[in-house]
Structure 1
């Protein structure tokens, strides 16, 4: 069976899809389409996988988008793919339209969160409509969390019959060999970061953008009483919205309590250094970083929104807080800081849940099984 994966950014392949592509390439003819500059940006793919560069941009650019649509349509017709599978919104819109017009029999899209979930008015209506177009042009879609699927169904974007969640959710699962607890790494990372052995360390790891709720977390953290346990907020990730400058304005005299690290390709090391993982996001498809931290044995504090509510089992593997609720974040930070036994218990439960429900092998096997069914349906028709 001849298949094509289409993504806007090569980082999507590198971060989430390599294992699935490797598994499918063992028995299928696989092509990866992305807007890359160098093939190495896609990670390490089997030699049998063909790669094709198409200028798909994340943001709206009408002329470039129309050109990419035509290039994709022509490429799909020339190659006569049996399956086109898109991930990320812009890639989904262009490739589902192109695949439909090119007569590709199986057109798959994976939803990983909605940019319009927190928008209002015309912007919300427009982006919601584009997600609906993706679904209409597809033959089947996948959603990376059950609560996100429920949301999309309630919004009339997808229907029950042609949408599903693979395994227990998440786009790619967790690499349990990579994300594992290590006291040696914990100790060495704290030395490198200048954090004492006994400090209570909260970790935020991700893009520093407004919709990740970083400012809410900083404000809640700064309210923590320092009379007892030393507390440190570790913020790891690239600054996308000028958040660093805004955080610096909030910090004031508390600069020693907040540690900044730019982009890292070893997130597991920072997770090992932490006692609590924090994701106060306003929108999230699933929250893969939460289950990665869970695999390391770190409980989580996250927003009670769709996606994150699948990644955190409230009261068992962590706690959910009111979205944008600075007071609620503060009170739950205080609880988790002061109750060491609760943190340990939740961390153990989080690790067990990550290992039994979200191992990458489970998600990959589920996708491979889906493709086997698609191949069988093609054989039945022919």
Structure 2
């Protein structure tokens, strides 16, 4: 380590999420002369990170419920690493990283600038039955950050999450910023000339991990509702892998028993999302709450119509009736009704797709997100 080289610590639950959502921030930091570290659970991606010039520290984060011993171990290791390396900037991503990283920073990183990126508040905040746990988390954050409030900034992906934290007095308007997602390269995600021919099968795609809170079952049930009317005209595609460590995980058999050959298909995880959206007219995400869903921003860049829920994060991807439609969460019938509206007007599908890309280009591009984040670091 060079003596005068500034250090950025990224604290993230798992390495694969960092690679898919924050890698470009690290690459820009290296270009600017920072020493970049990822503190994360190693799921096999550390070798690739090293090839990019990113240093790694394995932290035993556990994303399952009731993992208090592992959380304690992760916290102790964060304290040791903060004390040893004394980073200039600590950038926590995600709720658990924010809680453990902020507490460790309060104890052992008092000179560090603390950046807390709320990348979505997850299943706890999308389910009213967990309101007691939600209150405990908010109180815990308020207590932890009381001693670090003068050197802490928050990055939110949507206004709803920002307003929640401001109203709960965890952050303030002055220390809170909105950056819409992790950014998408509009040059790389550039659509081909779209046209829809008479008799063409319309492809409706949901890209997400197979989680209940992503609305996977709502999407499938919507397809079942209009099965007799639409089979042979529409292909419903699920693209994404299982995530059995998540409390909202669906089991493989739960999904497969609801599929219908040549009508509802599950393609698994894809390594070529551009190709997925090149073969998609309508992107659907019936999620119950998001920060800013990258899958929808990618679909917007590829000129797909967007169908999604009227909930924080998702609603920021759609101007209702302009580049797609919004519907309430847990409403398969309304999803099917929106799909039928689109299938009756192919010109509307093309028009809304172009509006999606125009909306994405305003403030969701990769260059905009990276530039704005580093302005916050240097503020």
Matching residue of 2:183: 173
Kindly indicate whether the alpha-carbon contact (under 8 Å) linking 1:14 and 1:42 is maintained by their aligned counterparts in 2: no
Kindly indicate whether the alpha-carbon contact (under 8 Å) linking 2:116 and 2:154 is maintained by their aligned counterparts in 1: yes
Matching residue of 1:200: 202
Q: TM-score, normalised by structure 2?
A: 0.86
SS at match of 2:8: strand
Question: Which deviates more from structure 2 when the two are superposed, residues 56-65 or residues 363-372?
Answer: 56-65
Q: How far did residue 341 of structure 1 move?
A: 1.2
Does residue 1:319 correspond to 2:329, yes or no?
no
Q: Sort the Cα spacing of 1:255 and 1:37 in 2 relative to 1 into closer, same or farther, 3 A.
A: closer
Cα distance in structure 2, aligned partners of 1:349 and 1:183: 14
Q: How far did residue 255 of structure 1 move?
A: 2.8
- Matching residue within 112, 115, 128 for 1:108: 115
Q: How far did residue 54 of structure 1 move?
A: 2.0
Kindly indicate whether the alpha-carbon contact (under 8 Å) linking 1:10 and 1:42 is maintained by their aligned counterparts in 2: no
Cα RMSD, aligned residues only: 2.6
Matching residue of 1:164: 177
Matching residue of 2:354: 348
| Greater helix share, structure number | 1
Cα distance in structure 2, aligned partners of 1:140 and 1:210: 32
Kindly indicate whether the alpha-carbon contact (under 8 Å) linking 1:89 and 1:131 is maintained by their aligned counterparts in 2: no
Matching residue of 2:97: 91
Q: How far did residue 38 of structure 1 move?
A: 4.3
Q: Sort the Cα spacing of 1:159 and 1:45 in 2 relative to 1 into closer, same or farther, 3 A.
A: farther
Matching residue of 1:14: 19
- Matching residue within 203, 216, 219 for 2:218: 216
Q: Sort the Cα spacing of 1:297 and 1:82 in 2 relative to 1 into closer, same or farther, 3 A.
A: same
Q: How far did residue 248 of structure 1 move?
A: 4.1
Cα distance in structure 2, aligned partners of 1:38 and 1:200: 37
Matching residue of 2:155: 142
Q: Sort the Cα spacing of 1:163 and 1:258 in 2 relative to 1 into closer, same or farther, 3 A.
A: same
Task: Identify unmatched segments of 5+ residues in structure 1.
Answer: 188-195, 374-382
Cα distance in structure 2, aligned partners of 1:257 and 1:229: 7
Cα distance in structure 2, aligned partners of 1:122 and 1:52: 34
- Matching residue within 77, 88, 94 for 2:83: 77
Cα distance in structure 2, aligned partners of 1:246 and 1:234: 16
Q: Sort the Cα spacing of 1:53 and 1:181 in 2 relative to 1 into closer, same or farther, 3 A.
A: same
Equivalent pairs, count: 358
